[in-house]
Amino acid sequence: MRLLGLICLFVTVMFATAASAECSLPTTKDFATQATALFNCPSALPLKGGEGKRKFQVHYDFPKTLPDSSHLPWLAVDPLTDPAGYMHAILEYATKYNGRSDIDWRIEDNKEQHWCNAPWLQDSREPLRGMTTERWSRPKELHEKQVGWAKNWAVGIYNDLACYGLGQIWSDPTFPKTKGFSLPNGALGIKLLFTNATPAQVPFLSNSKEWEVAAGNDGSIITMRMLQVDVSVKDKRSPNGWFFGTFMYDGTKAGKTPYDRLVPVGLMWGSDPDLLASAYYDKAATPKESWVNPEEAQRFYALPRQHLGLFGRANGPVDNPKSACITCHQRAMDWGRAVLANSPEAKQAAMLLPDVPFDPFIDSDAKAYFRNIGAASPVPNTQTLDYSLQVAKGISIFRAWVLLNYPDHAGSTTDIPPYPFARLLMGSQQVPTAGAAFDEFNR
């Protein structure tokens, strides 16, 4: 749903040799020991002034057998005729225990349900809440009183069905198996997005939930407020297999808790590939594969972004107004090899994987991005990761780390054929920057 600059999934990820105290690496340098240590690392980012505060603990609760999905409350609601009811059923399920004050999204404390984190995001997670940086909100994207940039961070978790799928990939921390990957029906991901914008800058943040987050560049602690909650659900009733929904916090609403004041913004099940500029402006076309709450959408009409997603598609207030939820998520895939930032392979990958159109008024560029691909991979001859960008980012970080530190293991730690990038003749030899191909957060 988010994009930073002009890219959705390619980012530089630096692999520091000196990890934080929470991520100290063993002195033994063999591949399996180092890989397992990083797999279990909560955070490799710094923390300043957080002595005595509870730290984020990565939690891998991967069931060995497929959990029962018959109890999931949203399965009793038709998402196409009652999208708001469908979204509320999901939200109530996710917050019932995780939202309690004694748990407060520390999923290792939730003894009633099974939730997990996605592996290999330690270089992105801050050490207090396990949050990762999101696309920042440009001035006046959230409210007319927001005159400066707002920093946004988020944390995502998965329910037991999704965790079962993650366990199929990561049963061996030294060898992710992505061949044939598909999450089961009922898999749920939920992500809480917080901002450092204040109620004075964004009045509807009044009385929102607050967290202390080590979001400063040096690991210093910043107070952030809940702004947006995203949900993604594998549901066979969707033509593309998934529903993506987003809520926003609204302090003007009644409710005992901040979760009661979360209002549905939109639900999306397709990219509306024919909703192009020509159709939108000349024929007054509207989305057919999104539901957008008109009460919340109207907040943004007078702001620079105008719409939540391009031409009225569903997207969240933190998200790129040139993009849309499901369209960005369907880019999740595995090249079967490392794609290092600034490498010839990265340049080819950027051309192969359609990105948010720089100029959305060029119909051909918009049509290349806004596609419906169902269960296919966005690039032929690659492995889809089933709309799961956190999974894709973790895989890409792992592959880059292996290539840079244990190149002899690069070919033996993939169970799919490496994508056959063309060999390019370079005018001068370039050393690629340590990096990874995917970013779940800055999309």
Over residues 174-219, the pLDDT tens digits come to 999 999 999 999 999 999 999 999 999 999 999 999 999 999 999 9
Q: b/e for 334-356, b at 16 or more Cβ within 10 A?
A: bbbbbbbbebbbbeebbeebbbb
User: What is residue 317's predicted lDDT score, i.e. its pLDDT?
Assistant: 96
Angle at 395 between CA 389 and CA 397, to 5 degrees: 100
**What is the tally of helices (H) and strands (E) in the chain?**
9, 10
Judge if pTM exceeds 0.85.
Answer: yes
Please give the Cα distance from 297 to 150 (Å, whole number).
20
What pLDDT score does 424 carry?
Answer: 55
Q: Which phi-psi region, left, alpha or beta, contains residue 230 (left: φ > 0; alpha: ψ -120 to 50)?
A: beta
Residue 427: predicted pLDDT: 42
Residues 332 and 328: their CA atoms lie apart, in Å, by: 8
Question: At 132, which amino acid appears?
Answer: T
- Backbone phi, psi, residue 383, to 5°: -100, 120
Token digits of residue 250:
């609204």
Determine the pLDDT at residue 24. 78
Query: Would you mind telling me the total number of residues written for the chain in this entry?
Result: 443
Residue in 211, 282, 234 with CA at minimum distance from that of residue 385? 234
| Rama region for 226: left / alpha / beta (φ>0; ψ in -120 to 50; rest) | beta
Contact 210, 231 (CB under 8 A): no
Buried b (16+ CB within 10 A) or exposed e, 24-49: eeeeeeeeeebbebbbebbbbbbbee
Helix 389-405 to helix 160-169 angle (10° resolution) is 20
CB neighbour list of residue 232: distance below 8 Å, 6 or more residues apart: 188, 189, 190, 242, 243, 244, 245, 325, 329, 387, 388
The partner residues of 133 in beta bridges, in order of sequence, read 153
- pLDDT at position 262, please? 98
DSSP H or E stretch at residue 52: none
Identify whether the C-beta of residue 242 lies closer than 8 Å to the C-beta of residue 332. Answer: no
119 phi-psi bin (left φ>0, alpha ψ -120 to 50, beta other): beta
Q: How confident is the model over 1-56, as pLDDT tens digits?
A: 433 333 333 333 333 333 344 677 888 999 999 999 999 999 999 999 988 999 99
| pLDDT digit string (tens) for the chain, length 443 residues | 433 333 333 333 333 333 344 677 888 999 999 999 999 999 999 999 988 999 999 999 899 999 999 999 999 999 999 999 999 999 999 999 999 999 999 999 999 999 999 999 999 999 999 999 999 999 999 999 999 999 999 999 999 999 999 999 999 999 999 999 999 999 999 999 999 999 999 999 999 999 999 999 999 999 999 999 999 999 999 999 999 999 999 999 999 999 999 999 999 999 999 999 999 999 999 999 999 999 999 999 999 999 999 999 999 999 999 999 999 999 999 999 999 999 999 999 999 999 999 999 999 999 999 999 999 999 999 999 999 999 999 999 999 999 999 999 999 999 999 999 987 544 434 433 333 333 332 33
Going by the DSSP 8-state scheme, the letter that residue 36 receives in this structure is H
Is residue 262 helix, strand or coil?
strand
Q: What is the pLDDT of residue 22?
A: 61
* CA angle (400, 122, 411) in 5-degree steps: 25
What is the distance between the alpha carbons of residues 154 and 193, in angstroms, rounded to a whole number? 4
Distance of CA 324 to the CA centre of its chain: 13
Q: For 208-301, list the strands marked E by DSSP.
A: 210-213, 222-234, 242-249, 262-268, 290-292
Please report, for residues 62, 136, 286, the alpha-carbon distance to residue 370 in angstroms, rounded to integers and kept in the order given.
Answer: 33, 23, 14
**Angle of CA points 416, 187, 132, to nearest 5°:** 80
